[in-house]
Amino acid sequence: MRQFLASFLEVIEVVVVAFGAVFLIRSFLVQPFLVSGSSMIPNFSDGDYLLVDEVTYRFRQPERGEVIVFRYPKYESAPQYFIKRIVGLSGERIKLKGGRVTVFNKEHPDGLALDEKYLPGGTNTAGEGEFQIPDGSYFVLGDNRAYSFDSRNWGVLKAGEIVGLVQFRLWPPSSLQVFAAPSY
């Protein structure tokens, strides 16, 4: 009986440690995310299972081109989570015109038209307008520009709404991938 009790307590200890480790990892390091919708097609599809890195942005600022998961800034009751790509950084001005995204900043006072190689050829960014991005905020767009509800609709995203950086696609297995920010 004593041996059974010792074995039982050992199993309980392993289970408690395992659950504790999973809780700590999921709460502070990595969070799973299931893509729902078509706003990021063709790069992310409905049903893709992703891992979101919650640590990176504690050590550095988000960069242009990175794909992030965030809490929808206008949620009313229960938070909704979105996935979008950062195209505008704090302090920049974004101009949407003629299907193109142009960024104005200190390095490019006359504007830099983004060469968005991650989008299919011929993709146009719908809508026109200019957006000044305040400090601590970002301008985000979905890759499926014709069908994305993003900063063009609800404005800039505050840094505090960002959950984390999309790092890995785990599902479907045929699309297993590690992501890096594109260069412009």
The residues assigned a catalytic role are 39, 84
Mean pLDDT of 168-180: 70
CA distance 110 to 134: 19
Instruction: Give the percent of the chain with pLDDT over 70.
Output: 79
| Average pLDDT of the chain to the nearest whole number | 81
| pLDDT tens track for 4-58 | 676 777 777 776 666 655 665 555 556 777 777 778 888 888 888 888 888 888 8
Residue 184: pLDDT band with limits 50, 70, 90: low
pLDDT score for 137: 94
Residue 78: pLDDT band with limits 50, 70, 90: low
CA distance 184 to 164: 22
CA distance 78 to 56: 26
Which residues neighbour 68 within 8 Å (Cβ) at sequence distance 6 or greater? 62, 83, 84, 85, 86, 140, 162, 163, 164, 165, 166
pLDDT score for 129: 86
pLDDT score for 113: 87
Burial of 38 (0-12, 13-18, 19+ CB in 10 A): middle
Residue carrying the six token digits 């890759």: 143
List the structure tokens of 142.
Answer: 């979905």
pLDDT score for 33: 72
Q: Which stretch of 72-81, 89-98, 131-140 has the lowest confidence by average pLDDT?
A: 72-81
Class at the top of the CATH hierarchy for domain 30-178: mainly beta
Q: Which stretch of 56-65, 114-123, 165-174 has the lowest confidence by average pLDDT?
A: 165-174
Confidence check: pLDDT of 150 > 70 = yes
